[in-house]
A and B are shown apart, each in its own frame.
Chain A
Amino acid sequence: MYNFEYHKAKTIADASAMITQKSEAKLVAGGMTLIPTLKLRLAKPSDLVDLNGLPELKGIKREGSAVVIGAMTRHVEVAESAEVQKAIPALAHLASHIGDPAVRNRGTLGGSISNNDPVADYPAAVVALNATVITNKRKIAADAFFKGMFETALEPGEIVTAVSFPMPEKAAYMKFPNPASRYAIVGVFVAKHKDGVRVAVTGAGPCVFRQKDMEAALAKNFSADAIKSIAQKQDGLNGDIHASPEYRAHLVGVMARRAVAAAG
């Protein structure tokens, strides 16, 4: 790991100022992605600005018909939250299957979505639940937040402070995990809202995407049978030693049908 200067942020404004002033500065949240990246010398930040210790970025609260989760809320806290389990059980279930217990004891919601790993779980929940990403500067709709592989709408100096998840009528997330890392080879989050159905796919492509053919079919008839004949196109899907694009396309259908069945 290259050396860097370390700062513990005292306020959100302080953290934002530090990463804006120094172009090579980086935020650290749970460090579960960033520290392995630094060890591999894939990044060489001049400064690390630690968001741990800002209580205003933590916590889970119900606001009307949405659950608002602070960016620094760890995966274990979402998984074990009685509020999340009651309001959006699919989200608690998703969080409880990220990585392993030690990763869930450190990794955060804000870190996961800001990193936007193509195989991460949370982006599927944010998109399918039509969540709003709240930053220190503005509110960003889920559909506008995830831009491409490891790319988001966040601007320099912008910090995710919370995510607001509207409660769906029903929802479920099904993941076909990579047996070594537990990241998604394919994960599908299906959510039925008052005004339609959203189907978000992670792991399969370079960035989370919506499966709109399935959304249309499920809006008419919310059953696994309704999407039986919808084939996911292979074009542009990921292919690696774990799974070919063809296999991933097949898994999108299987995981989507299982998610619909699990949502009930």
Chain B
Amino acid sequence: MPNVTMTVNGKKMSGNVEPRTLLVQFLRETLGLTGTHVGCDTSQCGCCVVHVNGDGIKSCTILAVQCDGADVKTIEGVANGDELHPMQAAFREHHGLQCGYCTPGMVMSALDLVKHNKNPSEPQIREWLEGNLCRCTGYHNIVKAIKAGAEAMAKARP
């Protein structure tokens, strides 16, 4: 079985995987990082979004072997110790989640959005969430949370 090594949330991690092992399986089953969820397994829902070399991607649609040597960030690597990231704090403040299943993917996609657009408008946020499905909230509070989170991030490091 191929051995893969990647930097996950700042730490070097290795493991043996079958070529067909998906990144999300490696993260959840080998590394025990179960914050990344599998909602659909058909590349539609975005619950599994993580950052690979800085880009938001669906970890159910990439092989672990393809990420050998990559820099991966999951929801577990977003907070600063016990202190929530401004985007996570905004989701709590604005009630941007109900069951929470979609939330890790929503937060990772939101952070990818801010990378492309520091001050996104409401329509831009809604369009960005095309690939993130939520069965609970009706999106309204998620959109509010992302707007507030982006503003808080801009204030935190002007």
The reply to whether A101 and B56 contact each other, CB–CB distance below 8 Å, is: yes
The reply to whether A103 and B43 contact each other, CB–CB distance below 8 Å, is: yes
User: A143 to chain B: closest CB distance in Å?
Assistant: 31
The reply to whether B19 and A6 contact each other, CB–CB distance below 8 Å, is: yes
User: Which residue of the partner chain, among B2, B19, B42, B113, contacts A39 with CB atoms under 8 Å?
Assistant: B42
Q: Mark B86-122, 1 if CB is under 8 A from A, else 0.
A: 0000000000000000000000010011001000000
The interface on chain B, measured as residues whose beta carbon lies within 8 A of the other chain's beta carbons, has a size of 28
User: Which residue of the partner chain, among B44, B63, B65, B113, contacts A101 with CB atoms under 8 Å?
Assistant: B113
Given A4-B19, A48-B19; A36-B43 close (CB under 8 Å): yes
Given A6-B65, A31-B63; A101-B20 close (CB under 8 Å): no
Chain B residues touching A, majority SS = mixed
The reply to whether A2 and B131 contact each other, CB–CB distance below 8 Å, is: no
A102 is an interface residue with CB less than 8 A from chain B: yes
The reply to whether A1 and B20 contact each other, CB–CB distance below 8 Å, is: yes
User: A91 to chain B: closest CB distance in Å?
Assistant: 19
A54 is an interface residue with CB less than 8 A from chain B: no
A56 is an interface residue with CB less than 8 A from chain B: no
Given A36-B43, A100-B130, A102-B49; A3-B61 close (CB under 8 Å): no
Given A31-B61, A31-B62, A105-B57; A39-B109 close (CB under 8 Å): no
Tell me the nearest residue of chain A to B113, going by C-beta: A101
Bound complex: CA of A5 vs CA of B63, how far in Å? 12
Q: Mark B46-74, 1 if CB is under 8 A from A, else 0.
A: 10010000011110011101100000000
Given A102-B57, A102-B109, A106-B61; A31-B131 close (CB under 8 Å): no
Q: Residues of B contacting A182 with CB < 8 Å?
A: 130
Bound complex: CA of A244 vs CA of B64, how far in Å? 40
The reply to whether B20 and A106 contact each other, CB–CB distance below 8 Å, is: no
Bound complex: CA of A3 vs CA of B61, how far in Å? 15
A151 is an interface residue with CB less than 8 A from chain B: no
Q: Mark A44-86, 1 if CB is under 8 A from B, else 0.
A: 0000101010000000000000000000000010001000000
Tell me the nearest residue of chain B to A76, going by C-beta: B55
The reply to whether A36 and B61 contact each other, CB–CB distance below 8 Å, is: yes
Q: Mark B26-48, 1 if CB is under 8 A from A, else 0.
A: 00000000000000011110100
The reply to whether B62 and A35 contact each other, CB–CB distance below 8 Å, is: yes
User: A201 to chain B: closest CB distance in Å?
Assistant: 24
Given A1-B20, A5-B19, A39-B41; A103-B131 close (CB under 8 Å): yes
User: B112 to chain A: closest CB distance in Å?
Assistant: 6
Bound complex: CA of A35 vs CA of B63, how far in Å? 8
The reply to whether A105 and B55 contact each other, CB–CB distance below 8 Å, is: yes
User: B29 to chain A: closest CB distance in Å?
Assistant: 15
Q: Residues of B contacting A180 with CB < 8 Å?
A: 44
The reply to whether A32 and B63 contact each other, CB–CB distance below 8 Å, is: no
A99 is an interface residue with CB less than 8 A from chain B: yes
Tell me the nearest residue of chain B to A3, going by C-beta: B20
The reply to whether A102 and B58 contact each other, CB–CB distance below 8 Å, is: yes
Tell me the nearest residue of chain B to A34, going by C-beta: B61
Bound complex: CA of A2 vs CA of B21, how far in Å? 10
Bound complex: CA of A3 vs CA of B131, how far in Å? 28
Q: Residues of A contacting B22 with CB < 8 Å?
A: 35
Given A2-B20, A52-B66; A35-B130 close (CB under 8 Å): no
User: A55 to chain B: closest CB distance in Å?
Assistant: 14
Give 26 CB contacts A-B under 8 Å: A2-B20, A3-B18, A3-B19, A3-B20, A6-B2, A28-B66, A31-B62, A32-B43, A32-B61, A35-B62, A39-B42, A48-B63, A100-B46, A100-B130, A100-B131, A101-B109, A101-B130, A102-B56, A102-B112, A102-B131, A105-B56, A105-B57, A106-B58, A106-B62, A180-B44, A182-B130
Which residues on A are within 8 Å of B, measured CB to CB? 1-6, 28, 31-32, 35-36, 38-39, 48, 50, 52, 76, 80, 99-103, 105-106, 180-182
